Structure 1
């Protein structure tokens, strides 16, 4: 008994287009043709088609299906590789499900990183944007420490003073706010400082992250607020280790921030 292309595709639970594609890439031998030009498939074609379908259904890429020979060890290696990839996919899907469950809770918001929803009511749009950027650039562990710090040690007066600082704030106002802010921005200045470790694995990635944070701060906050952050850095650097104020000024003006970063954000 033989089958047409349509018939064998139906038997295998696939499509004529797929069967023809398998011929094209060499996965399935083409059958002999009848005098009228129609292909006639036999049992070994159906068996091979079902084998391909099973392997691809298990996640084996077509390229590897084509390369799989009769060697038991070779096949086992392919299956182990696919299994490892599936395990990684399962972990990713489980993470997605946990995040979806969090977002489904009352008061949760997709506008901030997972876990920060409890702070949404106190955040402005620029604060949320910066948090989102931080979550991309800094490690999950750092973001968790930051979340706990913001929840456990609120500083509402300082937060509001920074948030409401007008672009034309005078020098005295900027300096006074910087002096209040300095202990919360710099490494080790208080027990509430938060060291944000970057996800970067190379110096180039770390530099890109540093520049991204600096650019984000300048884009999201007005010049007076950025100036206050710059002054706060200067205050600590000059006081902490006798750093050259001129050098610190140039560095801070150009980048605003660097990584790893220690910060108790004013928000």
Structure 2
């Protein structure tokens, strides 16, 4: 048989046969007088065997090792037993791997079912999906939805879905919904995203004050309902200075600060006293990414307004 005939009989392609030759799975057959490879029934049986093992999920490298063991088999009983054990170990490893794959697939199916049931975007963590759905329901622009989605994906990258930090952000969004404040949340964020680069300081200040008046009651409700630690003592320790010189940051991240321990503050410290407080590498990386994200997506006026909101929120929380 020539390559094409063998491939047809075995149900593979000629390219697959060449691949088997390259891996040493299929010995090179002798060539006929005209230079073509001449395969026999033994070669066909070997290809069928390779296909069978590969169909079980055994990597071709391991298939090669299993076939090589057959070639060195001496006929001794001990060698035969060792060969059987080796194959059994391979199958046991494969079975464990397949079980893990099945578990992952089942988890994926559960997530997909949840996404379909709750009409949640597949490209965001389910824990934040309802928030984006509420934004759309309140008439949020695609720009605002994209801005929120990207920021939440960055948070999700560094915090497990079951973490206190993720829970705090999710709780904040739930409070926005429970208090009937989704439309207001959309309005303030749209106003922020619509600020032109040359917006006046007065425009930034006025919007920041409105945003602070909106945010503070929700954050205080979170303290009462979920036990967020946003006490004056906590805020003063986190701020390091009376001016609260924080960089731009999404205002809803303030609730995360109340869930983190003092030494694990997500916000980068901007004063010398903060050098004594160690910040985990992941928190630092998230800080840098969030700052970079703001720099890439917000203009100067929007960043100034965002800073005013953060400072205003912290000032109001310190007052109690």
Q: TM-score when scaled to structure 1?
A: 0.66
Number of residue pairs the alignment of both structures matches:
235
Q: State the distance in 1 between where 2:3 and 2:89 align.
A: 33
1:187 to partner: Cα distance: 11
1:9 to partner: Cα distance: 1.4
Equivalent in 134, 142, 152 of residue 125 of structure 1: 142
Q: State whether structure 2 residue 152 is matched by structure 1 residue 134.
A: yes
Q: State the distance in 2 between where 1:90 and 1:225 align.
A: 49
Aligned pair in 2 of structure 1 residues 232, 56: CA closer, same or farther (>3 Å)?
farther
Which structure shows the higher helix fraction? 2
Equivalent in 5, 15, 18 of residue 16 of structure 2: 18
Q: State whether structure 2 residue 231 is matched by structure 1 residue 151.
A: no
Question: What secondary structure, in the 3-state scheme, does the structure 2 residue paired with 1:32 have?
Answer: coil
Equivalent in 34, 37, 41 of residue 35 of structure 2: 37
Aligned pair in 2 of structure 1 residues 179, 97: CA closer, same or farther (>3 Å)?
same
Aligned pair in 2 of structure 1 residues 99, 213: CA closer, same or farther (>3 Å)?
same
| Aligned-residue RMSD, C-alpha | 4.0
Partner of 2:91: 79
1:128 to partner: Cα distance: 2.1
Partner of 1:257: none
Q: State the distance in 1 between where 2:298 and 2:220 align.
A: 20
Q: State whether structure 2 residue 247 is matched by structure 1 residue 230.
A: no
Q: State the distance in 2 between where 1:157 and 1:16 align.
A: 62
- Kindly report which structure 2 residues correspond to 1:56-67, keeping only aligned pairs within 5 A, or say none: 56-67=54-65
Partner of 1:191: 225
Aligned pair in 2 of structure 1 residues 113, 85: CA closer, same or farther (>3 Å)?
same
- Please, which runs of 5 or more residues in structure 2 have no aligned partner? 70-82, 229-254, 265-278
Question: What secondary structure, in the 3-state scheme, does the structure 1 residue paired with 2:225 have?
Answer: coil
Aligned pair in 2 of structure 1 residues 112, 9: CA closer, same or farther (>3 Å)?
closer
